Amino acid sequence: MSQEFLKASLSPEVIRLAAQLRYNVQSNPWSAAGHLAAAAGSMLLALATCYCLYNLFLHPLRDFPGPKLWAMTRIPYTRNYHSGRGVRRLRDLHARHGPFVRVAPDILSVCHPDAIHHLQGHRKGKPENAKDELAYKNFRHSIVGANREDHARVRRVMSHAFSAQAMVEQQPLIQGYVDLLLQRLRENCDGGRRALDVTQWYNWATFDIVGDLAFGEPFDGLARGQYHPWVATIFEALTSMTMITALLRFEFIGQLLPLFLIPRAFARKMQEHDQLSELKVDKRLSLPTERTDLVGKMVANSRKHGAEMSHAELVANAAVLIIAGSETTAALLCGATYLVGTHPAVLAKLAREVRTSFQSEDEIDLVSTQRLKYLHAVLEESLRFFPPAVGSMPRRIMPGGDQIVDRHVPGGTVIEVWQWVFNHNPEYIHKPDEFHPERWLGDDEFKNDMLSGVQPFSVGPRNCIGKNLAYAEMRLIMARLLWNFDIALAPGMEDWYDRNQSWAVWAKPALDVCFVPRAVTTQE
């Protein structure tokens, strides 16, 4: 392009400004740098403005309701995600905007009894709405984050370890740790005069159980009265993962933000978690394969069914087993203990059922507790009120879009279904912020509750593989606690529920409980 053409194409004013800029650069380079920085800043501001306006007026999700600022930029969503009080804010948003709320430029939160079934249920030949790759980046080798084909293969291998027969085989081991829990509570409760933090004791018990189930050896939490280093690392690693996931969603700079905004100590905890997971698995693999722990069964079953798992898959799935098989059970036990402790009539009725259903404590086991209907209702209502898996389990809508509830959702949209938000929505649950086990026993007052949406273990082909074991373990621990002790919350624990913060799991504060031993000789 000739110089004459350029001159002809540019106005005299533009030529004058360009000449002035050239003069400024030659005579005062520092001033020129300032002009360039200002120009770059103006350009970035213009791009950000265009980005926000596009999200607000042209984005495929523009017609979904929600706060305008949340639709324009993902900053409010990220702040809410990091706050530890996010589910409560989301409940308020759904109360204002309805079942669908646009919480970020490309993310919808859905609160409806059919949402989880449409999103995660069996598809009957239709493609799967896959798990969001960013949210499950750290679990891609495990049953939690694997793609559809790998998930089916891994689940086929692991399912044998969670069968009814396997549960019966594991009963002596589980009973042994419940015996140890009760023994340690008696040793430390000072006849009921000393309150004990059950947040710790439940965690120590469930981690010991799942550690032995998975690797053939416990974490010795109950024996030592302290957390194993790996267990202590898990909680911080989970918090770090959720924070990093939220930051990675930022376009262009998402890969850089965690480097500046996530403390290095958190990053180290994630590395330690990965290293300890691998060390624990390698130690187990060095032992005889015939052992009946879960890792041993995974290895044996993968070879038997021609679906051998890689070393990375063994490590990832062992880590998932430890988290899913311990923290979630411990959280539910904490929630149930708090809820019955703040509802004396429920506690009295539950204790009476346990103490009149058995002739002796020896009769209380994983199978016999299935007939305790009120205990089951208490656990179900505790799962509704305080669901242990508090995260949203995000899915990404398939290309071409999908029908979720009564709306067409564009392909590529991330959909979140928050169990706690649904469970506390008065549109679907009568008196959602009140604890009523009777709603699970056919009480007419709660006949219109849409309990099909209460799914703490998820639904469909990816529902929790350890659901039956979790129920059995929770029933057994609660029943034997109530057989052996009269329990009461310590003073100052009345607001325990409200002090809980949440990320992937609940960051549970101390829950101090008084255990008064009972002298039991015959059926009451």
Identify the pLDDT of residue 6: 40
pLDDT greater than 50 at residue 523: no
Domain that holds residue 467: 115-517
Residue 106: inside a domain:
no
The CA R_g of the chain, rounded to the nearest whole Å, is: 28
Residue 64: inside a domain:
no
Distance CA 366, CA 167 (A): 8
Pairs from 446-454 (Cβ < 8 Å, separation ≥ 24): 450/113, 451/384, 452/113, 452/114, 452/117, 453/112, 453/113, 453/114, 453/115, 453/116, 453/422, 453/423, 453/428, 454/380, 454/383, 454/384, 454/419, 454/422, 454/423, 454/429
Mean predicted confidence (pLDDT) in 147-166: 85
- Tell me which of 211 and 33 has the higher pLDDT: 211
Residue 202: inside a domain:
yes
Return phi, psi of residue 399, to 5°. -55, 140
Tell whether 34 and 169 lie within a shared domain: no
- Tell me which of 252 and 397 has the higher pLDDT: 397
CATH number at residue 159: 1.10.630.10
Tell whether 119 and 52 lie within a shared domain: no
Give bridge partners of residue 512 from the DSSP assignment.
197
pLDDT greater than 60 at residue 22: no
- Tell me which of 363 and 3 has the higher pLDDT: 363
464 is in an annotated binding site: yes
Tell whether 166 and 236 lie within a shared domain: yes
Return phi, psi of residue 182, to 5°. -65, -40
pLDDT tier at 354 (50, 70, 90 boundaries)? very high
Is 520 in a helix, a strand, or coil?
Answer: coil
Q: Among 58, 73, 99, where does a domain finish?
A: 58
Average pLDDT score, the chain: 87
pLDDT tier at 286 (50, 70, 90 boundaries)? confident
Tell whether 136 and 37 lie within a shared domain: no
Give how many domains the chain has, as a whole number.
2
Mean predicted confidence (pLDDT) in 414-418: 96
Mean predicted confidence (pLDDT) in 461-471: 92
Identify the pLDDT of residue 290: 61
Closest CA to 95 of 384, 418, 419, 427: 427
Question: What pLDDT, in 10s, does the model give residues 93-122?
Answer: 999 999 999 999 999 999 999 999 999 998
Identify the pLDDT of residue 299: 80
